[in-house]
Structure 1
């Protein structure tokens, strides 16, 4: 069977391992986010913007999502686009609004056809300004449709970007029906199979430990500034709405994807061979495919401390 375009020209192990090192110095980043979907995207976007000593934000892409908060992937994307603009106002970053782009209105129909959108087009073009030695870092915290579409539109960007994606569950979990990857398995198969330098932050089994409680939200964030009030109040509402017990914590998953790029001992990772996401929501392991970097532990207290300091300063 002839290989798909994105399966061709995968870098050798030495090249990939070199490109999967944590970056030193200040770097350029873009964020791909389904911001209206859950409370954690708002925290992650704010954390990214507040980490401007390390991260130079070049663009923000609205990702599609479809659940009880949207009537379609398009509706989810458009609600996320509006939420991004709301957060940028609270962050006092009106200058970034011109660099916010609407993303895919549907998921990939197959593994060879991109979903064209302003976000995918921007990434496909913007990444060409970078090099393998000085890549653009793509922080992805939603369905990976926009990023996979950009790669299908311009496979050359694989050599010029590094993708840090919160997607899929831990590899030892038999059920991989995690929301981000389950929405668009075709896009996930492209990201795990195309040889783009990939840092995976698995949800259940790893990042599921990064939680915050109502007492912590009230103590650390409420009353500190307008942004913190917005984040804390929404998190408390959502936490209460979805709580299964009187004492609850809520996972703020997406913060970890931003944190991997920062200077700090916030998590532990290792190199593994890229697994294959299956359409039945399982992992197919491999001992021959190219390497990805795999996060397997979060230092919760250290990361929460840094997050609170930056949001409240």
Structure 2
């Protein structure tokens, strides 16, 4: 559970400040502008792996962050059972922006606190309006990726409100169970995969009732994204106040979980980080996430439990089977260090 600051205790943006589209921490400025647009959607009051994905994306000048959707958790979720998860997620994102000195808070949009009631009725929200507005732009040619590390409520609502957006962006989603013939569930797996369980109905809309292209990172693949506690201590906690904040959020989860499990592993899954890998870290020539592997399958429908239902003649989708964790995490560690050095130098100069 990411710790939620009180609304009046959100960290104010301290100098040095910056805006999206800038990278003042890079001693050698970026050689070119962003190659793609990104809408980030995550349940930021839940598992703190989403904080790592958010910070890493914000520090990646190769993509143009157009919106950050603060989305819900399922009702009664142990990470945040308040019923205000989207509201709390927005508070956390604003706090992270403040910790980074990032002034571009206009990109933050709150999603719905409620799941879809059925596959035909959207949940209106500021996030839905922002998604549609960005997808329907005609003044830009760069590809648009919708990267989601949680449930799909707000994307599904946007698709129901304006179906035309489906052909104007690609969904990259962390979630869903293993595919038959590719992997098997982990021991004692949840009956419905965690991110899909947030809103199964929304998943049914996105998979079975829309035309949006999907790149899926299912449970067996996001579980590959392990970092060791030694890496977090030496490569994250040492990266200035921001790095220490990120480390402490995971340490709090490990301590809590360890008390129930009779001890804890020396690893943690930063399972949302492939969202950065598959967008910001694509190859230069013939752009694609070329260091990761996928298979192409017909997009299935989802039943009420979230299991896959084959659909004859369905549009193709990518199912990732392996992600390049070396590139992904080394890039994150180095960007955190570079950012910390810049902020530390600016603080010393002041």
Q: Compare CA radii of gyration and give the structure with the larger one.
A: 2
Alignment partner, residue 212 of structure 1: 227
Question: 1:258 corresponds to which residue?
Answer: 276
* 1:291 to partner: Cα distance: 0.4
Between the aligned partners of 1:298 and 1:164, the Cα distance in structure 2 is 13
Change beyond 3 A, Cα 1:80–1:282: same
Please tell me whether the aligned partners of residues 148 and 191 of structure 1 are also in contact (alpha carbons under 8 angstroms): yes
Aligned to 2:46: 37
Shift of 1:275: 1.7
Q: Which position in structure 2 is the counterpart of 1:111?
A: 119
- Cα RMSD between the aligned structures? 2.1
Q: Is the 8 A contact 1:217 1:236 kept in 2?
A: no
Where do residues 50-69 of structure 1 align in structure 2 (5 Å cutoff)? 50-52=59-61, 54-66=62-74, 67-69=77-79
Question: Please, which moves more after superposition, 124-133 or 112-121?
Answer: 124-133
Contact 1:102 1:119 in 2 (8 A): yes
**Are 1:274 and 2:299 counterparts?**
yes
Listed one character per residue, the Cα deviations across residues 73-121 of structure 1 (whole Å, up to 9, x for unaligned) are 4x11111101101111122211x21121110120000000000000011
The 5-angstrom pairing of residues 99-178 of structure 1 reads: 99-130=107-138, 134-172=142-180, 173=184, 177-178=192-193
Structure 1 segment 71-90 matched on structure 2, within 5 A: 71-73=81-83, 75-90=84-99
For the structure 1 residues 131 and 272, does the alpha-carbon distance in structure 2 shift closer, same or farther, using more than 3 Å as the test? farther
Aligned to 2:336: 311
Verify the 8 A CA contact 1:239 1:248 in the aligned structure 2.
no
1:30: Cα distance to partner? 1.1
Q: 1:132 to 1:90 in 2, by over 3 A?
A: closer
Q: How big is each residue's C-alpha offset from its partner over 1:159-193, in whole Å with a ceiling of 9 and x where there is no partner? A: 21111111212213466611211121111011112
Separation of aligned partners in 2, 1:186 and 1:304: 33
For structure 2, the 5+ residue unaligned runs are 1-32, 284-289, 339-350
Q: 1:21 matched to which residue of 2?
A: none
1:239 lines up with 2:254 in the alignment: yes
TM-score scaled by length of structure 1: 0.85
Is this contact kept in 1: 2:35–2:142, CA < 8 A? no
**TM-score w.r.t. structure 2 length?**
0.77
Secondary structure, aligned partner of 1:206: helix
Aligned residue for 1:296? 321
Q: Are 1:201 and 2:217 matched, yes or no? A: yes
Shift of 1:302: 2.9
The aligned length equals 286
2: distance between equivalents of 1:29 and 1:198? Answer: 14
Q: Is structure 2 residue 44 aligned with structure 1 residue 26?
A: no
Contact map agreement 2:300 2:311 (CA 8 A) in 1: yes
Please state whether the residue corresponding to 1:212 is helix, strand or coil.
Answer: strand
